[in-house]
């Protein structure tokens, strides 16, 4: 049985479940498109807390203070995913058995220092090592996002994103919400990675996840990752890794290495363009130059083996570039067109409105904001500023 066949079978199963839920269980609201101008600042209760992770510590000790009280939250989240996996595979316990029994051995295949960091998280939370490992890889497959890099009229670059997560993962009929999305919101944190008491970079993470989806290296560059849907997707890469084909890198570990080691936008751009990965993705990069020959903002469209397109801000719009989860040269899925409303709101805001407040308003406008949105992150590279806010979408709201 080929890996490609297995990957396609899983994709078909997910689509079937999604359509089935939407037709039978979801309360589908009327479509709402809006451009709000009063969403910032959000309530203080929505502000995401910050933790320091000391990279000078041994890897197994770095996350203890962050996760020591988070074990029950992570466990509940994984139990939800296990339940969903069993339903997808007609009651089969294969995925659950792999997580519980084979996960510790799987950990041996992962690069350092990440393997030791996950061992430390397992010790601090009381979770099985296999569960911690799995918690750190499933973000490769279910992350549906909107990312924007924009230049204000003074030439300063801002980078903002919504992280939407939980599609297909447990529809709550009673509350009309996605179960995993609701479980993830309380786990959102800002992490200040430091060496010698100085910030190396800052990121927005889910507590217990050690990779990077949203980050800023102050004064140098910003980076976000959006999932790219592809028939040669992350499931195939995961199965190949399990079967011993390990030429590619985990996306979250690659981005972590980039944030720790890259000395600027151009070096980061080369690394995320050329490194082979287990899953396709979009990398959205912002730099610190907005004039001359090297205006720094781009979307890198990745196949697993390499980049297939590098789309620079100047050719996109001139003052901003925007990516959701579809190739910029193709049409979004009609059920998931967040791109067109986001462009509408950017045009409504104009370049004069580019700011932390302006971009937060764009990302708080439905359907860019939706039931899957866990947080909005807002970054300004020159000042090294990063803030993040939990997001909640009022009804009517999709999906679905």
Catalytic residue numbers, as ranges: 145
- Taking the C-alpha atoms of residue 56 and residue 254, their distance in angstroms, rounded to an integer, is 20
The backbone torsions φ and ψ at residue 313, rounded to the nearest 5 degrees and listed phi first, read: -60, -35
Q: What is the DSSP letter of 59?
A: G
- Asked if 203 contacts 259 with a C-beta cutoff of 8 angstroms, the reply is yes
Residues 6+ apart with CB under 8 A from 16: none
- Quick one: 96 exposed, middle or buried, by C-beta within 10 A (0-12, 13-18, 19+)? middle
Q: Which of 309, 236, 318, 244 lies closest to 277, judged by CA?
A: 236
Tokens of 257: 């290495």
CA distance to 2, 232, 266, per residue, from 112 (Å): 30, 27, 25
The backbone torsions φ and ψ at residue 186, rounded to the nearest 5 degrees and listed phi first, read: -65, -10
- Taking the C-alpha atoms of residue 59 and residue 257, their distance in angstroms, rounded to an integer, is 14
For residue 64, the surrounding DSSP H or E stretch is helix 64-67
Tokens of 124: 């601090």
- Taking the C-alpha atoms of residue 148 and residue 158, their distance in angstroms, rounded to an integer, is 8
- Taking the C-alpha atoms of residue 70 and residue 188, their distance in angstroms, rounded to an integer, is 11
- Asked if 223 contacts 386 with a C-beta cutoff of 8 angstroms, the reply is no
Three-class DSSP category at 75? helix
Task: Give residue for tokens 């890259």.
Answer: 262
- Taking the C-alpha atoms of residue 235 and residue 100, their distance in angstroms, rounded to an integer, is 19
Q: What is the DSSP letter of 127?
A: -
Tokens of 327: 């190739």
């Amino acid at each position: 049985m080929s890996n490609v066949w297995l990957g396609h079978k899983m994709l078909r199963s997910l689509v079937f479940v999604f359509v089935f839920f939407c037709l039978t269980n979801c309360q589908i609201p009327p479509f709402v498109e809006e451009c709000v101008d009063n969403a910032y600042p959000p309530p203080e209760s929505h502000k995401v807390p910050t933790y320091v992770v000391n990279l000078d510590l041994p890897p197994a000790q770095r996350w203890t203070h962050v996760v020591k009280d988070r074990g029950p939250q992570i466990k509940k989240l994984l139990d939800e995913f296990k339940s969903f996996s069993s339903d997808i595979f007609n009651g089969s316990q294969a995925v659950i058995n792999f997580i519980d029994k084979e996960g510790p051995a799987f950990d041996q295949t992962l690069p350092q220092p990440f393997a030791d960091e996950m061992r430390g998280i397992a010790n601090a939370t009381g979770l099985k090592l296999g569960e911690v490992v799995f918690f750190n890889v499933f973000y490769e497959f279910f992350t549906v996002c909107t990312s924007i890099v924009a230049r204000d009229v003074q030439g300063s670059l801002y980078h903002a994103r919504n992280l939407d997560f939980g599609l297909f993962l447990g529809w709550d009929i009673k509350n009309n919400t996605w179960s995993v999305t609701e479980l993830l919101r309380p786990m959102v944190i800002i992490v200040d990675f430091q060496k010698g008491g100085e910030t190396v970079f800052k990121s927005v993470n889910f507590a217990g996840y050690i990779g990077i989806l949203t980050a800023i290296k102050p004064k140098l560059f910003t980076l976000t990752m959006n999932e790219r849907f592809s028939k040669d997707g992350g499931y195939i890469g995961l199965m190949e890794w399990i079967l011993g084909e390990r030429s590619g890198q985990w996306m979250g570990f690659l981005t972590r290495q980039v944030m720790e080691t890259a000395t600027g936008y151009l070096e980061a751009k080369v690394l995320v363009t050329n490194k082979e990965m287990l899953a396709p993705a979009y990398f959205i990069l912002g730099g610190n130059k907005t004039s001359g020959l090297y205006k720094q903002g781009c979307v890198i469209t990745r196949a697993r083996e390499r980049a297939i397109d590098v789309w620079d801000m100047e050719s996109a719009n001139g003052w901003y570039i925007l990516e959701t989860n579809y190739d910029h040269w193709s049409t979004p899925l009609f059920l998931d067109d967040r791109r067109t409303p986001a462009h509408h709101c950017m045009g409504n805001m104009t370049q004069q409105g580019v700011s932390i407040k302006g971009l937060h308003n764009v990302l708080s406008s439905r359907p860019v904001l939706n039931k899957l949105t866990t947080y909005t992150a807002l970054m300004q590279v020159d000042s090294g500023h990063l803030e993040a806010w939990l997001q909640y979408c009022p009804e009517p709201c999709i999906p679905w």
